[in-house]
Structure 1
């Protein structure tokens, strides 16, 4: 498995004190009652729109590309709701890392778990598709309370954040694997583990194929789903961690497992996977990470979408 970061006295160097202060404030914020957290998160999202102009532009552009039929008024409303979710996402990360198991259980519900536990009991490897909702950290924590698996992560350049995110995620995961360590991922799947995997971002041209995604006909999409499923024989299980709009907490919705995905080519698998991702996004579109440059990689000679 990947060598994981460990806490050391070097992380207490004065250069990191401002960051530790921010972490302390996040910890204190998530001690508040959930309705207060929800109010603060949404207010923080409105404030973020004033200072993150470039990200607002990216979110608006992504929505225009994916939903050309959407009116300008609808798009503006979606961007506002999305940034409310951005603000909540910061606090939900703190909730995922610092809340007790009892508090997580109180504010969450899960559906569709039984088929997964049956597969897991048979030592069937499961590729758990957890796409980039702004609730993703909290969704992983909720999942881990029921059926712990192995997380896939990108190491952070800041050693304090790298240690903290690993510590937080290991509260509900058996282990963590660097997203570049494909061999360890395949080995774990063959051993009947659950691997958390996100195939929905643009990870660059090296390991991507161009297939449709919503109304974009050539979206760079990772071929990793094809590689992992073909070499491991894993079942693919998508799930959606959705924040309830009535303020009563969260629901983790597990979709039906697919144990025979289309594997005839990387393009076929990626195209099918994008359809699954679309279905998941439409279950809570305002909570998806639209501020990511999903269409930054273009085919040779094709101009930028941004």
Structure 2
């Protein structure tokens, strides 16, 4: 995709309200980091009380994935998850607008030697990540160390899409945004030794997935990770990020590349990926994006799991 450019149409009156909101967010974002964390938590409290559909989906996911926890424990986890989501709103703005030097002070990065070795060997890398609430700032912090390409879906609002892409790409000056459905483009980049951020932890439908267990539930799991690794002759390196306590920044870890991956079986690969996803999420479940209908697709004959969380007409 071409780099984002300012367009005269962004000055049209229909974008004025968005410009106002972005301006206010930019001003708030100049506050100290710990203050932004506090404001973000307060925003999360409001979202917990008002975002009924997201609240229902997240609560249902926690019921499905943590049946061993009491209802009180899941309620506390749900509240913390919304607090983390509120903080993520300001982390997004930080990654777009903070000076790089200010942002860099928050990063604690481990495992860069794995990317360096892959670069020396001329190997492409699939950075296998997850949809944590720290996704935006994690990608920005890693992008300051290495140029990372990413799968991208264009936003329906032209102005927001411009601001978002420009904010992301300032950390990756030579990065390439790959359309989510551009399989050939993804494979071509991997074969040229590029590093690409990719998250296989969401439900993209049964057609391009197979059903394997995740938290003990059959989940539609994409086979693309194996396909990209095989056709792109690339390594798969798990990548995790975590918001540290007490305003101490973020821990980013590039793990060693998976061995014997891909295997001869997509099912084995998908099970291996889901086992890693489950273990990683359990380390800090409050920071995971639980508002996604992860178990929306069901095997033939199985009941739907979100019947009580339908969108209101």
TM-score of the two chains, using structure 2 as the length reference = 0.94
Stretch moving more, 254-263 or 194-203:
254-263
Shift of 1:215: 2.0
**What does 1:151-190 correspond to in 2, within 5 Å?**
151-173=150-172, 174-190=175-191
Q: Distance in 2 between matches of 1:134 and 1:77?
A: 17
Aligned to 2:9: 10
Shift of 1:262: 3.8
Q: 2:268 aligned with 1:243, yes or no?
A: no
Aligned to 1:233: 233
Aligned to 2:270, the other structure's residue is in SS state helix
Aligned to 1:109, the other structure's residue is in SS state strand
- What is the aligned residue count? 304
Shift of 1:245: 1.6
Aligned to 1:88: 87
CA contact (8 A) 1:116 1:257 kept: no
- Aligned-pair RMSD on alpha carbons? 1.3
Q: Distance in 1 between matches of 2:122 and 2:99?
A: 29
- Deviation track 1:237-258 (CA, whole Å, cap 9, x = no partner) reads 1111211122211111222221
Aligned to 2:48: 49
Aligned to 1:69: 68
Q: Distance in 1 between matches of 2:216 and 2:26?
A: 40
- Deviation track 1:108-141 (CA, whole Å, cap 9, x = no partner) reads 2111211221112221110001210001010000
Q: Name structure 2 gaps, 5 residues minimum.
A: 307-313
CA contact (8 A) 1:230 1:263 kept: no
Q: 2:231 aligned with 1:222, yes or no?
A: no
Aligned to 1:37: 36
Shift of 1:52: 0.5
Shift of 1:5: 4.3
**What does 1:246-261 correspond to in 2, within 5 Å?**
246-261=246-261
- Deviation track 1:59-91 (CA, whole Å, cap 9, x = no partner) reads 111111111111111100100000000100111
CA contact (8 A) 2:213 2:271 kept: yes
Q: Distance in 1 between matches of 2:87 and 2:299?
A: 35
